[in-house]
Structure 1
């Protein structure tokens, strides 16, 4: 029996060592990508002065970088030595990392969607609340502290961390029938699910509000021609950038995080027996791809790319009709800022000016 156990351990070591290049490659790509993204976000002086949206984007990049640098070395070590996670303290720490950074990523992307919703749909309150860089930093600090407390609860006895079936990662014991452990699993899963649903609803609200405001501005008469031209500039630059950056990031984060969130619920429902044995491992592997993809969204969707797309689009239009007037230069990572830093004011003036014709019509009807 002892010889058989040694043989199995040697075989597992050889098999694990053969799979080391993949987690090493994921670690290197994730770390380098996030470092490049953070550097790219810090190049422009104007972008550094941008407030809430830019700060939250940087916060998500830093969160992904920390998660990659802290969790990946432990995973690589487990492929080299399957006994690494047999240490209960290291297993609990690895479980904490996965819990924390998964929940933090969802919270930051939800905060980004909420910031865009407030800037577009509640422009007056947005200015009144002084939603700026320091405000976003306080939001990030609140996210980190609150999530650190929630994710420390298993170490305080509310749940137990254990090695999962593949023996390459640790997570909470989500199959436990203990009432306390079940309560924590449901709490964690419900929080993640609410963040996912909140992000989806806020993104839909932002896109719907922008499209509705654009439609009203284009189809209805306005008192000032300049307002209409300003909104055309916004819809051709800032609107496109906001929608693409926010929606693309949201789709990547939610797609990568959803399988792990679903896995926390499946042990407590009747369909659990239908789920494949390796579904948990697939879920955590999909989640580990998230910090690799996120930074390339920030890198590829740079302002220069949008300028090139807009230039090509305008050239194609000019071949059919007269080219539209050039729009002011906008900032990708804080689209509320143009050269004169008054895009929010423009949005509010658009609403006021669009509502003026309705008020005049109602007054004329009342007088007649």
Structure 2
């Protein structure tokens, strides 16, 4: 077993001074078994939490989609459901592989002697990394059109259009992730030997750099689009709240629906930015500096470099944050749709200086809507 596959090897290992009492082989084996048991609990917990959250989100979206009062936001619900389905598939396809590698004492070769599983894992990481980012951008654009151009939205934005856009996102990302098969880029085993992703080193250096750079740029562009659209939507909502003090009941109900979906968008946007920005920025930095994280594989107990230690640790943290996105997305939707909605509306009401009478009527309508099981 190579040093980077051992529990005590690599930047996350226990320092030699702390391991001094484990001088014999039995002690080291016991330590490795103990660390392996702790390590496998992390991906196992993530998988269970992600599956439960995404399944619940899909169930609630399905119920809301069938409700008559949700006809105006069915396109948004389709996007939410697609996001939950994408995250669920990502968990089901990647987490069992990681758990198997941990159970094999982090020996990827024992689980995947041919190397084909590594390519599949890297392909899955690419697909289920870009798809949520693109779907979140589509949701942000959809809400911006619904609020800033309601007449055009009502006449042009049908559910079949949303389905076509989502299908286009899936086809585009799948085609992009298959580029290594055509010889442009490649997937390789990454430190600490428990996952595979886009490589920036190897014989096809130029192709690998282009593929990795394209992934990072596309991911960052989708984040920029999401943030820009949400800011435009917020500005439109605040402006509408200030100019329309007394609106018909149907307009107020539409405003409540748009406010609810906006809060969900903001939550998903924050999760996406926090989870993916570190990894995407680090990939670009690594590409432009013509370096890779393959040196983490050669990390050994002799001649430790503090800079290398910090760099490899930050890289692993960034990857884990990106993996958390599949878990946090559905829980953001589940929490923000009821628990935090009323408090956020109160804060938005204070900022926009809406009248007290309008707020009381909106609070009553909101409370009645929350009590409905299909809301």
What is the alpha-carbon distance in structure 2 between the residues aligned to residue 199 and residue 210 of structure 1?
17
Distance in 2, Cα, partners of 1:38 & 1:21: 26
RMSD: 3.6
Aligned match of 1:74 in 90, 93, 97? 97
1:259 aligns with 2:294: no
Q: 2:220 aligns with which of 193, 212, 218?
A: 193
Equivalent position of 2:312 in the other structure: 277
Q: 1:30 aligns with which of 46, 50, 59?
A: 50
SS at match of 2:191: coil
Listed as ranges, the gaps of 5+ residues in structure 1 are 219-224, 315-320, 334-338, 340-368
- CA drift at 1:34: 0.8
Deviates more, 1:94-103 or 1:150-159: 150-159
Does the aligned pair in 1 maintain the 2:79–2:139 contact within 8 Å? yes
Q: Which runs of 5+ in 2 are unaligned?
A: 7-24, 293-306, 350-355, 370-374
Q: How many residue pairs were aligned?
A: 317
Quote the offset at 1:280 in angstroms: 2.2
Q: Distance in 1 between matches of 2:345 and 2:228?
A: 29
Cα distance in 1 for partners of 2:201, 2:115 equals: 18
The alpha-carbon distance between structure 1 residues 79 and 163, as it changes in their structure 2 partners (threshold 3 A), is: same
- The structure with more radius of gyration: 1
Whether the aligned pair in 2 keeps the contact of 1:13 and 1:79 (CA below 8 Å) is no
Query: 2: CA distance between counterparts of 1:240 and 1:269?
Result: 41
- Of 64, 72, 84, which aligns to 2:87? 64
Task: Give the distance between the partners of 1:306 and 1:184, measured in 2 at CA.
Answer: 41
- Report Cα offsets for 1:216-269 as digits up to 9, x if no partner: 334xxxxxx545x7655655x234313311101111122111122123212223
Equivalent residue in structure 2 for 1:209, among 236, 242, 262: 236
Q: Does residue 240 of structure 1 match 2:259?
A: yes
Deviation at 1:308, TM superposition (A): 9.0
- Tell me: CA distance 1:88–1:180, structure 2 relative to 1, closer, same or farther (3 Å): same
TM-score (norm 1): 0.75
Counterparts of residues 38-57 of structure 1 (less than 5 Å) = 38-44=58-64, 45-46=66-67, 50-57=73-80
The 2-side partners of 1:18 and 1:248 are apart by 31
Superposition map of 1:74-93 within 5 A: 74-81=97-104, 82=107, 83=109, 84-93=111-120
Stretch moving more, 50-59 or 293-302: 293-302
SS at match of 1:43: helix
1:360 aligned partner:
none
Per-residue CA shift, 1:250-300, capped at 9, x if unaligned? 111221111221232122234969661222211111111112111112222
Report the Cα distance in structure 2 between the residues aligned to 1:303 and 1:215, rounded to whole angstroms.
Answer: 25
Conserved in 2, the CA contact under 8 Å of 1:154 and 1:172?
A: no
Shift, 1:40, TM fit = 1.9
